[in-house]
Each structure stands twice: as C-alpha cells, then as structure tokens.
Amino acid sequence: MSLIGQPVSRVDGRAKVTGGAQYAAEFDVRGLVHAALVTSTMPHGSILTMDTAAAEKADGVLAVITHLNADRLPYRRMKERPAVDPPSGEALRVFQDADVVFSGQPIGVVVAQTVEDARHAARLVRVTYNEAAEKTTFDSARAAAPSEATAEDGEPGETRRGHAVRALDEAEVRVDATYVHPREHHNAIEMHATIAAWDGDRLTLWDKTQWVGNTRAVIAHVFGLPEDHVRVLSPFVGGAFGSALRAWPHVTVAALAARRVGRPVRIELSRRECYTSIGFRPHTEQRVALGARRDGRLTAAIAEVAAQTSTYEEHAEETINAARTTYACPNVLTRYRFVRMHTNTPTSMRAPGHVSGAFALECAMDELAVQLGMDPMQLRILNHADRNEADDLPWSSKELLACYRTAAERFGWGERSWQPRALRDGGTLIGHGMATAIYPAHRSAASASATLFADGTALVRTAASDMGPGTYTAMTQVAADALDLPLQRVRFELGDTDMPKAPVHGGSMTMASVGCAVRAACETVRGELGADGAAYAEALRRRGLDHIEASADAEPGDESERFSSYAFGAVFVEVRIDPDLGMIRVPRIIGAYDVGCVVNPKIARSQCIGGMVGGLGMALLERADWDARFGRVMNGNLAEYLVPVHADVGELEALFVPSDDRRFNPLGVKGLAEIAICGVAPAIANAVHHATGRRVRELPITLEKLLA
C-alpha cells in the first residue's frame, strides 16, 4: 500500500516532546558568550552621541560595538536580490553610519559572559539624537504622494482589463467601499536567535531561518566572503509564518560581534524586539468597487490598495491578485500604492497580500449579494472563473465548485435564513457567513540526495526547512514510498547548507519543489542499484558495497507558461453574538480545499486548522496598536497583542476534495499552508453582518465596533 495519502504521525514528534529537537538558541557551542541589542528610541534622524562608558565597565562585558567602532563591512553587491527581499531599496547596513530610520533600529550591541550581563549593560548605553521630521501616521504618509509599486510577482502597480471605470458607472448594481487591514505581527513561540562562530575566515551560523541558503548568501555578501565559507544550520524552527524568510540585522550583528571578541556569540531577540527587528504584515487600506447586472453577473471590479512600507525598502504584496483572478469579470482595474513610513520594513506573513486582498474582495462580494438579494454562495458560483482571466491561461486543475458543494453541505448552508438578525438562540444572535479562498501554487528548483545502506536503511537529505507544517514527516513518506521501504527504515535530514540546495520554505512551495527532488533522488538511487526494497541489502552485498548514494535535481518546466496553478477553498463560519455586550464567539468553521494530492491528511488537517485559528485572530483580535509620537508598537507583547487561545476556538473541520494536479508537478500536489488562512476573516465578517446587520469593514471586529 502506498504511503502517500496515509495519516502518518509526525516522525519528529518524539524529539520535540522530549527536548531532543534543538532550535537555533539551544546549541551548546564551546566558549559561547551572549549579546544584547541597543536600539533607537526615536523614529528618524541621526545619532549625536553614544556614551558607552558605563556599559563597558559593567560586570562580564567583553565589548560594546556601535557605528563609532564597528568594522566597516563590505556589503558586496549581490548579482540578484534574494527572492524574499523587497525588489527595490536597500537593507539596513548594520552599525555603518549614524542614521536612524525607525524607532527600535539596532544601533549597538553589548557582548558579555551571560545574557543577564549583556542586557543590563545594554540598558546603560546613553544616546542623544538629532531628530528629523518623521512620517509615523498612515494618513500623513499617504498624503505625501504615495508611489506606484511593483508587486512580488512582477505585476505592475496598475493593471487593466477592459474598461472598468466606465463599466462600473454603467452597472445596474454597485458596491463601493473601503476595507482596512491593520498591521499584524507573526508572534511565533520561538524567538528569533542566531549563534555565530568563526574559524579563521570561515563562519558557522545556527540560525532561526526558513531558508538556510539565503542566510548563507546574504551574510557572505555582507562580509565579503565566498559562499562556501559560510555554513548555516537550522534543523528545527519553532514557528515563523514568514518572519524567518529574510536574514534580519541581528544575524549580521551576531557574526560581527563574534569576530570582534574571538568567541562564539549568541543573540536572541526579546518578544518586544521581534516587533521592530523583524518584519510584520503591513497596514493596508483597500477600496473595492464591484459592478454587476441584476442577475448577479459581474461587469466591473476595481481594487485600489494603499499599503505601508518603510522609507528605505519597498515591500509590496500581491494584494491586488484577488480582484484580478478570483472571479470571471470582463472589466478589471487594480492599483497598488506605497505608503512610506518611518518604520521597519514589513515582510511576508502567512498568505502575504492574498489574505488581505481576499478580506476586502470577499466582504464586497457579500455586500453585493445583499444588494441583489442572492445567496452569497450562488453569487460566487455564478461568477466562477473557468480560466485565469488575468493571465489568460487555463487552470492546471480547479475543484472550487466541489469545495463550495462539500463545505456547504457539511455546514448546512441551505437551511440558513437570509435576513440579518433573523437567527437566534434565546437572546443570542446567530450569523452564517462564507468566503472563497485562493492562493497561487508555486514551485522552484530543488535538489536532494538519497543513500541506501547495507543494513536496509536509507538516508535522504536536502537543505530545506521545517517550521512546523510537517516537512520531516511528509518527505519521509515520499522517500519511503519511492524506495519501497517501511517508514521506520528511512531517515530524512534537512536544514544545513552542506546538504543539496533547496528553495525557500515559504509560499506553500516545499512539497511541490523539494518533494519532487526527494522522489527523483530516491528513484535514481533505486535505479542505480537495480533492486527493490527488500532486496537492497543483498544487492549491496553482492557488489561489495556498504552503501550507494545518488543525487537528483527537480525543477519546473514550461507548465507555468501553459497553465495557471492555484489552490482553492471555500470557508463557512457560524458566529454567535451577545447583542447587549457585543461579544463574538465562533463555534464552528468548516473549510473544503482543493490542494491537489494530499500526502498526509493528518498533518494537512493540522495545517488547515492552524490557518483557521490564524484567520480567527485576524478577524477578531490581532492589531498592532501604534503610537505615532514615538513610531512604536505599544502592545509589543503577548499580554496585550491578542492572539486566539483554546477558549476562543470552537469546532474546526477541514475537508479535502479529490484532486491530483500532475500538470503542475509529478507528485500532483499544490500548496496548503497559505490557502488555509485565506477566506477565514471575511467569512467571519460576513457572518457578523448576517447576525447583526452591521457591516464592519475594519479589522479586527471588536465589541466596541458592534456597539458604537
């Protein structure tokens, strides 16, 4: 029986629950010392003075490094910017000058014998500034001539199909509204941390990263080293959601400090520092206008996005993609504009751009359904896109209609009353809402190696990552299936730049990319040995070998030129609301998904319910409270930045419709992690409207917005 499709428990589960799994900050490196950052306390200007005398005299301090005494680093130009970095602008050059461009910017580091000594001494550094005019509010920054963006997929900041403005003016029914998605932060349980150790001119980094190859490339660029002089290890990542895609300034700081003191240096960001030293989901404001005939057919769609970025880099997202691709519509206009603020640069956060765009579009579709007096699901089915009209390509596969039917039947959607405030349980208002979810399926080149041993076991290796979705487990299944070996006879290793190259562990591309390489490597070594699973040991003995190894590469062909590949889903939600207190509860969320071949339904379900919880937090809880006076997030902690806990979560159910996309890749898989969060927030917002009759267009939906 094939191991593909089996609900195998996590092969790394025992290591994680017994403490055997080592994360970046946990490696015991001989002679290790510790570092703590000194950060700016104002958003824009330059440093006038830095008094480090008290810090240098503090107990256990080995060095205090600032722009006044730091090594001048080469910051060698890279031939190509990393795919996870903004396409334009320039990353911070750590301690290379006195400029300050956001509050919380690293401006110094203290190295000491203990973490406590380092943090204490960092607080003793005294800084004075020459403050400059700052842009710390979204509205004032937007008024300062926002500029056109180029989104991550290379699409221009403005796209047109047909004549959207004219079609909207002529539409029989129109919706035109603005939707606000606030700044959000990743808040993974594992803090960002790096250990740096030099051996001559060779550097080893133990780093929390979703892409060891990128960390190696960036740090080699910063220090002017050949890439093969930098080794990066990251065998386990304790959650990231996109926050560990880039090599953030603290990685450079660790390497810089380790070279200065001649000892391995460990730096671990505090929870509050994770609100300024790594990225975040940007504040986004979207105007969505839809025009339709009275029968519900869309005739026009306009999406205009204004999104936050920093003043030194241009982080753009695919927010406009939802309006361009989700539904059939002959006339579409999209615009994406930067709002440059004195803040650190945003970064990808689960389903970057797509989840924000889906919130606005799917709420607008619900508003249109209300105006038309139509079932919101039927409106979506009526406007189902039979091909990707934005790229004028057929889908490589699409089972969205099956997603609607499956989830709606499970939810009991047909039994709902359409009138707001009509459903009650005693004094509690009940609301039902739904939304479409789509996310592009990505694939990149990847490599893997497979080794068969005379004892009948196998080792498969690739420089991928596992931040929690189950990479270790799913890749072990793919390898064992290809090798015709029992699961327990296969060991899979990842997270080391000494292993075959793998792409970024993000964008829901790992299984489609690395999985194909793993299968190819296993098939190659099996072919070279010319034997099947049970006969491996005997075949090796006949050849006088104790092992045989083979490597393989897997990369996309021309399928992206012939087809458009996406994952799809339909999300249905029930809310219960106390009309007097405005308190919202979500007793159930049901999602049906088309994600291609499901390698492991157990960990796939885990991914989906995790995405649902993330979407629930987005809809009802998460928001960075911004203090414009200081350019800082005020609630930079888990006491005041609210995320869902078990008491907030009701029944979560993930269903997978039959699908197998061999046009996209040989395994037939599509991405899963991102699609699971898309559609959840708008489904909740739509359910809130159904329950209360109140349309909330700014997230999160808090009780004061319902009671105002």
Contacts made by residues 524-533, CB under 8 angstroms, sequence distance 24+: 524/450, 524/550, 524/551, 524/552, 525/450, 525/451, 525/452, 525/483, 525/549, 525/550, 526/452, 526/482, 526/483, 526/484, 529/452, 532/484, 533/483, 533/484, 533/485
Domain assignments of the chain as residue spans, ordered by start = 26-132+189-239+244-275, 158-183+280-441+562-707, 444-555
Range list of H helices, 92-211: 115-122, 138-143, 164-170
Residue 2, judged by CB atoms within 10 A of its CB (0-12, 13-18, 19+), counts as exposed
Closest C-alpha to 66, from 54, 52, 46, 45: 52
Q: Is the pLDDT of residue 307 over 60?
A: yes
How many C-beta atoms lie closer than 10 Å to residue 88's C-beta? 12
* Percent of the chain at pLDDT exceeding 90: 94
Residue 22, judged by CB atoms within 10 A of its CB (0-12, 13-18, 19+), counts as middle
CA distance 590 to 564: 26
CA distance 183 to 315: 14
Cross-strand bridge partners of residue 669:
596
CATH of domain 158-183+280-441+562-707: 3.30.365.10
How confident is the model at residue 144, as a pLDDT?
81
How confident is the model at residue 203, as a pLDDT?
98
- The dihedrals phi and psi of 55, each to the nearest 5 degrees, come to -65, -40
How confident is the model at residue 682, as a pLDDT?
98
The per-residue pLDDT for range 394-404, each reduced to its tens digit, is 999 999 999 99
Spatial CB neighbours of 302, under 8 Å, sequence gap ≥ 6: 164, 165, 168, 287, 288, 289, 290, 323, 332, 333, 334
Indicate the class that CATH gives domain 444-555.
alpha beta
Query: Higher confidence at residue 705 or residue 155?
Result: 705
Alpha carbon of residue 399 to chain centroid: 24
How confident is the model at residue 151, as a pLDDT?
45
Angle, vertex CA 477, rays to CA 471 and CA 483, nearest 5: 130
The per-residue pLDDT for range 403-426, each reduced to its tens digit, is 999 999 999 998 778 889 999 999
How confident is the model at residue 415, as a pLDDT?
77
The per-residue pLDDT for range 233-269, each reduced to its tens digit, is 999 999 999 999 999 999 999 999 999 999 999 999 9
**How high does pLDDT run on average in the chain?**
96
How confident is the model at residue 697, as a pLDDT?
98
Helix (H) or strand (E) holding 481: helix 471-483
How confident is the model at residue 146, as a pLDDT?
61
Highest-scoring range by mean pLDDT, 86-90, 136-140, 498-502: 498-502
The per-residue pLDDT for range 599-629, each reduced to its tens digit, is 999 999 999 999 999 999 999 999 999 999 9
Q: Is the pLDDT of residue 149 over 70?
A: no
Average the pLDDT over each of 377-391, 406-420, 439-453, 610-624 and give the range with the smallest value. 406-420
Q: Is the pLDDT of residue 167 over 50?
A: yes
Q: Are 675 and 593 in contact (CB under 8 A)?
A: yes
| pLDDT classification of 152: cutoffs 50, 70, 90 | very low
Q: Is the pLDDT of residue 554 over 80?
A: yes
How confident is the model at residue 533, as a pLDDT?
87
The per-residue pLDDT for range 50-88, each reduced to its tens digit, is 999 999 999 999 999 999 999 999 999 888 889 999 988
| pLDDT classification of 154: cutoffs 50, 70, 90 | very low
The per-residue pLDDT for range 94-107, each reduced to its tens digit, is 999 999 999 999 99
Please identify which residue in the block is written with the tokens 């060698």.
76
How confident is the model at residue 678, as a pLDDT?
97
How confident is the model at residue 41, as a pLDDT?
97
| pLDDT classification of 324: cutoffs 50, 70, 90 | very high
Closest C-alpha to 504, from 82, 63, 45, 37: 82
The per-residue pLDDT for range 467-476, each reduced to its tens digit, is 999 999 999 9
How confident is the model at residue 153, as a pLDDT?
45
Question: What CATH fold (topology level) applies to the domain 26-132+189-239+244-275?
Answer: Aldehyde Oxidoreductase; domain 4 (3.30.365)
Its pTM stands at 0.97
CA distance 162 to 149: 21
* Percent of the chain at pLDDT exceeding 70: 98
For range 568-584, the mean pLDDT: 97
Q: Any idea which residues carry the catalytic annotation?
A: 674
Please identify which residue in the block is written with the tokens 């004075």.
128
How confident is the model at residue 145, as a pLDDT?
65
How confident is the model at residue 1, as a pLDDT?
74
- The dihedrals phi and psi of 29, each to the nearest 5 degrees, come to -100, 130
| 3-class secondary structure, 647 | helix
What is the DSSP code (8-state) at residue 184? B
Q: Are 122 and 39 in contact (CB under 8 A)?
A: no
For range 321-337, the mean pLDDT: 97
- Same topology for domains 26-132+189-239+244-275 and 444-555, yes or no? yes
